[in-house]
Amino acid sequence: MRKLQDRQTAMAFQPMDPKITRNLRQMDEILKKNSDPLQWVAADLTGDANPHNGRPGMTAEQVLRVAVVKQLYDWSYPVLYERLNDSIALREFAGYEFQPVPKPSTLQENVKKLSPNALLAVHRAVVLHACAEGVESSDRLRTDSMAVETNIHHPTDRSLLEDSVRVITRILARAAKEFPGARLVFRTRTRVTKKRAFAIAYSKKPVEQEALYRELLRYAEEVLGYARAGVTRLAGLSGTAEERQVARIVAAELGRHADLLERILSQTRRRVIEKESVPAAEKVVSIFEEHTDIIEKGGRETVFGHKLCLNLGKRLVLDCLMERGNPADTALYPDALDRHIGFFDAPPTAVATDGGFASAKNAIYAREQGVQEVVFPKRIRGLAEDLFPSAWVRRQLLRFRAGCEGILSALKRGVGLGRCLWRGWESFQSYVWASILAYNLKTLARALLEREKPAAARA
């Protein structure tokens, strides 16, 4: 019989899924046993200020754990705030059992301060803890690469010109209102540039596109002239010391966007008007994330972001090498191996990699560093018999390497490593390390809990 209501009052509140609670408590125990890197986190939060002055704010431990929770579930800050308030287990893990959870803006402000070095220190402590517990080992290494997108729209010449005109006009309008003494003179060209960009997107004939691009370039050059004149006027502005300092900051920002617009104008002329092929290293793909690189993945797709070279163990991500540009995998292999040896003070006994890392030079280098078995999916002439003592070893290591794909998929879809939502190159690195740390903590906690099950059954 289904009742309308249950009048019986419960003796205690029923907690959330016990499995989730156990995982979070196991992660809590791991972080407590490896609390030394919190000094790095505390240094990021205080900066040059005296840590004994001011309001207490969020502790270093709370900031680190909030960052882990955010990446663990790939939540936005408003959703993170709601979930922390709503979940007893998450509040316990984050250190807010008896305190109100800070607002989303406060959470973002504190997590944003985490540097790559601090998160790397915590990551390495977790990896060493996993090795000490027997969950992970440095003997067998598998290396693979992946591309992580930055948070930008797909770049086109017309959209970059439109973005630059819009941002420069906005800076000039605000500066004219804040510094009337600068006497900034400019005309708003955002509406006409938006119309030309829209027309280019829907024009089908190359002749029409080129004519529209010429108009768009003319308006963008006009705005560039306004920006250059505005930089000169703002830099020479008279007034109080504070006004001059603020004006110089605005002038620097305006000058930066003017330089970007000049580069975009140049690449647009070369590509559209002169029909020239512009090298990827010379292209601007975003005025907001200038550090973004163009990553071409073997003709399959183009990713706008950065390339990562990951060292993977049995379960965890052991290390990550973040590179600027689009270097070949073969060029990343020595650095990845050197970082592994430097971290563990010993070379791995076996290394299995993706086919992109295969080269005779890399195979010889690995053997010189003390690696006993080096395996690539494709064979290398003249070195196969020396590197692969038996077909069985090669087959086992190739199977071991195939597990990389599952870990990369979990990083992309599980902890949000497919696309970085934090702004700036340093924040990009912090985002990557925070995602890797969240994945490693979750995986290590599950492995330790699985190991406890047979012992509990025997007892």
Q: Is 6 within the bounds of a domain?
A: no
- pLDDT of 264 > 60? The answer is yes
**Residue 393's pLDDT band (cuts 50, 70, 90):** confident
pLDDT of residue 11: 60
**DSSP designation for 146:** E
**Is residue 45 a contact partner of residue 113, using CB atoms and an 8 Å limit?**
yes
| Domain's final residue, options 241, 259, 282 | 282
| Tally of residues, the chain | 459
Distance between CA atoms of 106 and 77, rounded to whole angstroms? 9
Residues 128 and 251 occupy one common structural domain: no
- When divided into structural domains, the chain yields a total of 3
Identify the pLDDT of residue 379: 75
Whether 13 has a pLDDT exceeding 70, the answer reads: no
Q: What was the pLDDT predicted at 422? A: 94
State residue 49's pLDDT score: 67
Question: Is residue 398 domain-resident?
Answer: yes
Q: What is the pLDDT of residue 323?
A: 87
pLDDT mean over 163-184:
94
pLDDT in tens, 15-49: 567 788 899 999 999 999 999 999 999 999 987 66
DSSP secondary structure string for all residues of 47-71? TTS-TTSS---S-HHHHHHHHHHHH
DSSP state of 75: -
Instruction: Give the range among 67-71, 152-156, 368-372, 385-389 with minimum mean pLDDT.
Output: 385-389
Residues 296 and 147 reside in one and the same domain = yes
Q: What is the pLDDT of residues 402-441, one digit of tens each?
A: 989 999 999 999 999 999 999 999 999 999 999 999 999 9
72 and 131 belong to one structural domain: no
Together in a domain, 312 and 454? yes
The answer to whether residue 2 sits within a structural domain is no
* 455 confidence band (pLDDT: 50, 70, 90): low
Q: Is residue 410 part of a domain?
A: yes
Looking at the structure, tell me whether residues 39 and 178 fall in a common domain. no
Residue 10 lies in a domain: no
CATH code, 399:
3.30.420
Q: Which residue is associated with the tokens 């690469």?
A: 145
Percent of the chain past pLDDT 70, that is, above it, reads 92
Let me know whether 257 and 301 are in one domain.
no
Helix spans in 74-205 (H)? 77-86, 88-94, 104-111, 116-132, 157-178, 190-202
Q: Clarify whether residues 334 and 417 are in a common domain.
A: yes
- Strands 350-353, 373-375: parallel, antiparallel or unpaired by DSSP? parallel
The torsion angle over the Cα atoms of residues 218, 219, 225 and 227, rounded to 10 degrees, is -150
| 6 pLDDT above the threshold of 90 | no
* Predicted pLDDT at 360: 86
pLDDT at 378: 79
pLDDT at residue 50 in the model: 66
270-329: per-residue pLDDT in tens?
999 999 998 888 899 999 999 999 998 766 788 999 999 999 999 999 999 998 988 889
- In this predicted structure, what is the pLDDT of residue 280? 85
> Which residue range(s) make up the domain with 420?
117-152+291-434+443-458
* Per-chain mean pLDDT for the chain: 90
The domain boundary, picked from 221, 254, 282, lies at 282
* Residues 364-383 pLDDT 10s: 899 899 998 888 887 776 66
Residue 385 pLDDT greater than 60, yes or no: no
- Which one, of 342, 400, 339, 406, lies nearest residue 373 by Cα? 400
Domain boundary among the residues 227, 247, 282 is at 282
Per-residue CA distances from 256 to 164, 178, 211, 294, 347 (Å): 11, 19, 28, 21, 45
Residue by residue, DSSP assigns 100-128 as PPPPHHHHHHHHTT--HHHHHHHHHHHHH
Q: Is residue 13 domain-resident?
A: no
For residue 384, pLDDT beyond 80: no
Same-domain pairing of 43 and 170: no
The model carries a pTM of: 0.90
Is residue 44 within 8 Å of 114, Cβ to Cβ?
yes
**What digits encode the pLDDT tens for the residues 68-81?**
999 999 999 999 99
Q: Are residues 278 and 297 in the same domain?
A: no
Is 216 a member of any domain?
Answer: yes
Residue 457 has pLDDT above 60, yes or no: no
pLDDT of 1 higher than 80:
no
**pLDDT value for 354:** 87
| Residues in Cβ contact with 320 at an 8 Å cutoff, skipping those fewer than 6 apart | 308, 309, 310, 311, 432, 433, 436
* 456, pLDDT greater than 80: no
Indicate the helix (H) or strand (E) that contains 321: strand 317-323
Answer yes or no: do 144 and 176 share one domain.
no
| 131 plus 185 within the same structural domain | no
Q: Verify that 28 and 91 share a domain, yes or no.
A: yes
Range with the lowest mean pLDDT among 99-108, 129-138, 187-196, 448-457?
Answer: 448-457
Whether 63 is in a domain gets the answer yes
